[in-house]
Chains A and B, each alone.
Chain A
Amino acid sequence: MNGIVPTPIARQPWRLLIPLFVLVGFGAAVLFSAAGGNLQPFAASHLVRFAVFLTMAAIMVLFNREFVRFLAYPAYAIVLVLLVAVEAIGAMGGGSQRWLELGFMRLQPSELMKPAIVLVLAKFYSTLPPGMIASWRALIPSGALIAMPMALVLMQPDLGTALAIAFGGAVVMFLAGLPMRWFVAGGAAMLVAAPLAFFFGLKEYQQRRVTTFLDPESDPLGAGYHITQSKIAIGSGGLTGKGFNEGSQSHLDYLPEPHTDFVFATMAEEWGLFGGLLVIGIFAMILSWGLRVARSSNDRFARLLAAGMVATIFFYVAINLMMVMGFAPVVGIPLPFMSHGGSSMMTNMICIGSLMMINRWNREAPSHGIGR
């Protein structure tokens, strides 16, 4: 970069970190406002968590390729066991539960599964002989690897996370080069299965979320309330917003969950279209940086891993933004780096940490155009 800046600093992936810091700082500001102009209870812990998970990511950067490859199956297995444990504890406790109480934090294993599924599939396809990529041996094991955690998460029930796991897995499979016709056939099967799943697979409250998404005005004070109020918040912000700490929708409790799922609406009300474009722009920078890392990677495992991590973050961002703007049903997916919440911060920082780690691998062993 620049000769004046010392190498260890110049070496850091600033094209990722600067946008990320801006985003997290902006998120903290929005959370400050969502708490009625207070650091507590959201903004301060948001920053602290970011610091903690950034440290974790920095440690991840030091892992070498062999270690990570070695880790893939055990990590997946552990997370799967944790998911079963959550289910068992929930069943014993007489209710559904999504987390494990670890004392210092609540661990939500389904969150860990999002990067874990990407990792295990990257490992699987990187070890699969290229000649078998069009055979059933490329599909059945990975299908099972995706199906098991999905089933467990759906039992919780947590449709949003299950879809995120499926999306991450599907993206890795797609990029691994599985025959296109399988995806076409799978897509067609889903089109057929979706109505069936809607009527027989979804719980009543989940069905209602979908129907009100299709017509939010049908129930303005009930289930459609969230979407309607969120659109009011975003739309009333205009170009420049109502001003910091001036958002009436969030401050007067019209906006539900102003600090978690609807944090983007809280932001847009106060910062307007400019704030919204800034956030979307920063996500574009982070994700495109991630994609660049994936492409410049010099082995199949790293390529798939990096792209899978990007897809996981992308899924969060896209679904959350579509939800708050009325393009998707309310599924309870937070906005990365802005929403208040430790589990999503952890998942996303694992993704970021993985990308930074692969970035280091790339730098140390530049791609020669030969896959291994």
Chain B
Amino acid sequence: MFGNGSQPPPSSTSLKNTYDRRSFVMGTIGAGVGMLLAGRMAYLAIAENEKYETESESNRVNLTLIPPRRGWLLDRDGAPLASNRADFRVDVIPERMSDKERTIAVLGEVLGMDATALQDLTDKIDKARGFQPVEVGAGLAYEQFAAISVRLPDLPGVVPQRGFSRFYPTGPSVGHLIGYVGPASAEEYEQDRNPLLITPGYKIGKDGLEKQFEQQLRGVPGARRVEVTASGRIVRDLETRDDVQGEAVQLTIDGPLQDYAARRIGLESGSVVVMDCDTGDLLCMASMPSFDPNSFSDGIGRIEYGMLRDDERVPLRNKVLKGLYPPGSTVKPMVSMAFLKEGLDPEETVFCGGGLRVGNRVFGCWNRRGHGTVDMAKGIYQSCDVYFYHFAQRIGMDPIALMARRMGMGMEFPLPVVSQFYGTVPDPAWKQEKYGRDWATFDTVNATIGQGYMLSSPLQLAVMSARLATGRDVLPQLLLDKTSKRYPSFDFSNEHLNYIRQAMSDVVNGPGTAGRGRLPLPDILMAGKTGTAQVVSLNVSDGRSGPWKYRDHGLFIFFAPFDKPKYAGAVVIEHGGGSGAAYPIARDVMTFLFDPQKGLEALDALERQWGGTAQERLEHKYAAYAAEAGEIIRPPPRRDEEIFDRVDAEARAAALQPVTEATDAAVNRSENEDNPPVETAP
């Protein structure tokens, strides 16, 4: 059609015609392209309008979850053992960072982090799964927070926000009991695909009660819709739905007592349990040495964790629930009760010459010189082993094991805790099943003095003490329940109960083994029973000196007042070198319970000697440990917040105001106001 003019040579006229034809074709093609573009435009704007409108909205609007404020953990008087503190924080989301080294360097510079902290941060980021937020810093000054917010466009993956961090006023004193919070791990997120778990800065309970009551404490997240630019800068807030704070959990724990007991353990490694004999309320479950849950909640550092992990006193284990010890002589009142139940006359005596031959082996009394003539009361207050060796053979193991179980040994209690160890109450059937061997007389002999196979936790010892003191089937409680309850009575006669109580009172107040355990109070007498548990055989160590881990455990169970028991408990000091390490602690704790001022005086004197409170010592220790590792640790900023004054031991002594008043104050001074939106420079 076009330009096939090779036969007649082209002239200007034919070229003009060709031009006209071709330009018409070009114009038509151009018009076609125009129509095509108009059609495409219409297709995008009409047919695909909905799709692109959605995409445009999802570009423009960023929905962020507002992590709910965590519910408080309260002590029995309503003072917070765990609360929330408003703070500015910065997280990073590793997979969104474009230049990791540079981002970390900038953050380090703005936040003034030293080499250790930077190393910790790098470690954490390397270990984290990509989507998992990693905390860079919490509790920032506003200036630091603002400095990071302005640089955001250059720092993809960095998330600054105003949030709340968990705060434990008494720190290490409640570490094991309450646990701590931390960012959800990848496994936890696999299990619970809640988007909240990967919200930067959101923390879930990782241990202790924080973990146990996670769902209750969690609350309902709020949401915030913001308009953001392509680089993530927030232009304005569109809509905010407030979060709903998690429910508070009120414990039976007495905050000041818990703090006091934990601090009174001092340089030792051990635990103190105190419970209310009538209600079973656990007033104190102190386990030391411990960790500072505030450190964990802020994201614990490499060095600090290393220090805790390497410590032979296992500060990461809750000894109240998971420490198992041979109960030693603390079982003797219980064994005596079994004897009484089997009809043994308490006046019947045996002669103690320092030992007793059982079969072909001589079992020594702890007192090698012997106790002379011993009846049941003396067997308890002088803790004569021979008395029990003798009569246990007559009564047999089964009634003793039965009584041990009724007293709570070997039991698991219905408590809201992550785990508890329940130890062993041996009997012939147990031994047959476990070792396939027959029960021997010397097994009975060992068991009656709480050695051999017998193992129990401090909590069980405290329950045993409470049940012996009251003759009732007291169950330990950890959640405060104000309804009055009365536990069913065991069929012990009053006569028997009084006999045991009197004998246990004589341990402390009479010619017993815990003479220095007498309460410095005129009208209240404490009853108790000492115990010493051998760790290694006598030919390795005498149990009182030498390497720490070869020393005997010191144990003490107690209740007071002895004639009308109100409080009962147990103290276990690991490798304390004998019961002498345990009962002074029980004495001071009970003193504090009845007379805080007096109790605190005793503690003050001791803490001066030890070099500060438990928290201060932990900090010093960390600094020293870090220095050894070649790092410099700046002391954490001291918080002089009044919130301290409500659950630490001094609070009770200083202000002997009515408890209800303190409770109100605690609620009013709430830091849990709403979370105002982050201001961002336009």
- A→B interface (CB under 8 Å): 130-131, 133-134, 171, 174-181, 229, 231-239, 248-249, 252-254, 268-269, 272-273, 276-277, 280, 283-284, 287-288, 291, 294-295, 300, 303-304, 307, 311, 314, 318, 321-322, 325, 327, 371-372
Given the complex, which residues of B lie within 8 Å of A236, measured CB to CB? 49, 52-53, 55-56
Known: A248-B60, A252-B228. A234 touches B41 (CB 8 A): yes
Determine if B60 and A235 form an interchain contact, defined as CB atoms under 8 angstroms apart. Answer: no
Determine if B37 and A325 form an interchain contact, defined as CB atoms under 8 angstroms apart. Answer: yes
Please tell me which one of the listed residues B26, B49, B235 contacts residue A238 in the complex, with CB atoms under 8 A apart: B49
| CA gap between A254 and B18 in the complex, in Å | 48
Q: How many residues of B contact A (CB 8 A)?
A: 48
For the complex with contacts A277-B38, A318-B37, 5 further pairs of A-B residues with Cβ separation under 8 Å are A134-B5, A175-B26, A235-B49, A237-B45, A276-B45
Interface residues of B in 1-57 (CB under 8 A from A): 1-6, 9-16, 18-20, 22-23, 26-27, 30-31, 33-34, 37-38, 40-42, 44-46, 48-49, 51-53, 55-56
Please tell me which one of the listed residues A130, A179, A232, A269 contacts residue B55 in the complex, with CB atoms under 8 A apart: A232
| CA gap between A19 and B565 in the complex, in Å | 102
Shortest distance between the CB of B407 and any CB in chain A (Å): 67
Determine if B10 and A131 form an interchain contact, defined as CB atoms under 8 angstroms apart. Answer: yes
In this complex, what residue of B is CB-closest to A372? B12
Q: Which of A178, A232, A304: most chain B CB closer than 10 A?
A: A232
Determine if A253 and B230 form an interchain contact, defined as CB atoms under 8 angstroms apart. Answer: yes
Known: A177-B3, A177-B15, A234-B52. A327 touches B40 (CB 8 A): yes
* Majority SS at the chain A contact face: helix
Interface residues of B in 307-351 (CB under 8 A from A): none
Known: A232-B52, A239-B45, A276-B45. A325 touches B40 (CB 8 A): yes
Given the complex, which residues of B lie within 8 Å of A232, measured CB to CB? 52, 55-56, 59
| CA gap between A283 and B38 in the complex, in Å | 12
| CA gap between A318 and B59 in the complex, in Å | 28
Given the complex, which residues of B lie within 8 Å of A252, measured CB to CB? 59-60, 227-230, 235
| CA gap between A294 and B16 in the complex, in Å | 12
Given the complex, which residues of B lie within 8 Å of A231, measured CB to CB? 44, 52
Determine if A291 and B23 form an interchain contact, defined as CB atoms under 8 angstroms apart. Answer: yes
| CA gap between A181 and B4 in the complex, in Å | 8
Please tell me which one of the listed residues B11, B40, B229 contacts residue A253 in the complex, with CB atoms under 8 A apart: B229
Q: Does B539 contact A (CB under 8 A)?
A: no
| CA gap between A128 and B241 in the complex, in Å | 78
Shortest distance between the CB of A138 and any CB in chain B (Å): 10
Please tell me which one of the listed residues A174, A178, A249, A272 contacts residue B59 in the complex, with CB atoms under 8 A apart: A249
The 7 closest A-B pairs by CB, nearest first: A235-B52, A236-B56, A177-B18, A273-B45, A180-B3, A253-B230, A235-B44
| CA gap between A176 and B19 in the complex, in Å | 6
| CA gap between A311 and B27 in the complex, in Å | 9
Q: Which of B31, B46, B49, B51: most chain A CB closer than 10 A?
A: B49
| CA gap between A229 and B4 in the complex, in Å | 47
Given the complex, which residues of A lie within 8 Å of B46, measured CB to CB? 238-239, 273
Determine if A294 and B49 form an interchain contact, defined as CB atoms under 8 angstroms apart. Answer: no
In this complex, what residue of B is CB-closest to A304? B19
Q: Does B191 contact A (CB under 8 A)?
A: no
Determine if B41 and A179 form an interchain contact, defined as CB atoms under 8 angstroms apart. Answer: no
| CA gap between A335 and B26 in the complex, in Å | 20
Shortest distance between the CB of A34 and any CB in chain B (Å): 14
Known: A177-B10, A284-B34. A294 touches B59 (CB 8 A): no
Determine if A314 and B30 form an interchain contact, defined as CB atoms under 8 angstroms apart. Answer: yes
Given the complex, which residues of B lie within 8 Å of A284, measured CB to CB? 31, 34
| CA gap between A181 and B1 in the complex, in Å | 11
Interface residues of B in 381-406 (CB under 8 A from A): none
In this complex, what residue of A is CB-closest to B34? A284
Given the complex, which residues of B lie within 8 Å of A314, measured CB to CB? 30, 33
| CA gap between A300 and B20 in the complex, in Å | 11
Q: Does B609 contact A (CB under 8 A)?
A: no
Q: Does B660 contact A (CB under 8 A)?
A: no
| CA gap between A288 and B28 in the complex, in Å | 10
Can you report 26 A-B residue pairs in the complex whose CB atoms are below 8 A from each other? A130-B11, A131-B10, A134-B3, A134-B10, A171-B26, A175-B23, A176-B15, A177-B18, A234-B41, A235-B51, A236-B53, A238-B45, A248-B56, A252-B59, A252-B228, A253-B229, A268-B45, A272-B45, A276-B41, A284-B31, A288-B27, A295-B20, A300-B16, A303-B19, A371-B13, A372-B12
Determine if B38 and A287 form an interchain contact, defined as CB atoms under 8 angstroms apart. Answer: no
Determine if B44 and A177 form an interchain contact, defined as CB atoms under 8 angstroms apart. Answer: no
Interface residues of B in 190-230 (CB under 8 A from A): 227-230
Determine if A318 and B55 form an interchain contact, defined as CB atoms under 8 angstroms apart. Answer: no
| CA gap between A193 and B23 in the complex, in Å | 27
| CA gap between A284 and B37 in the complex, in Å | 12
Given the complex, which residues of B lie within 8 Å of A280, measured CB to CB? 34, 37-38, 41
Q: Does B483 contact A (CB under 8 A)?
A: no
| CA gap between A238 and B42 in the complex, in Å | 9
Given the complex, which residues of B lie within 8 Å of A325, measured CB to CB? 37, 40-41, 44
Determine if B12 and A287 form an interchain contact, defined as CB atoms under 8 angstroms apart. Answer: no
Please tell me which one of the listed residues A174, A181, A283 contacts residue B26 in the complex, with CB atoms under 8 A apart: A174
Determine if A180 and B52 form an interchain contact, defined as CB atoms under 8 angstroms apart. Answer: no
Given the complex, which residues of A lie within 8 Å of B23, measured CB to CB? 175, 291, 294-295, 303, 307
Q: Does B231 contact A (CB under 8 A)?
A: yes
Known: A235-B51, A307-B26. A322 touches B37 (CB 8 A): yes
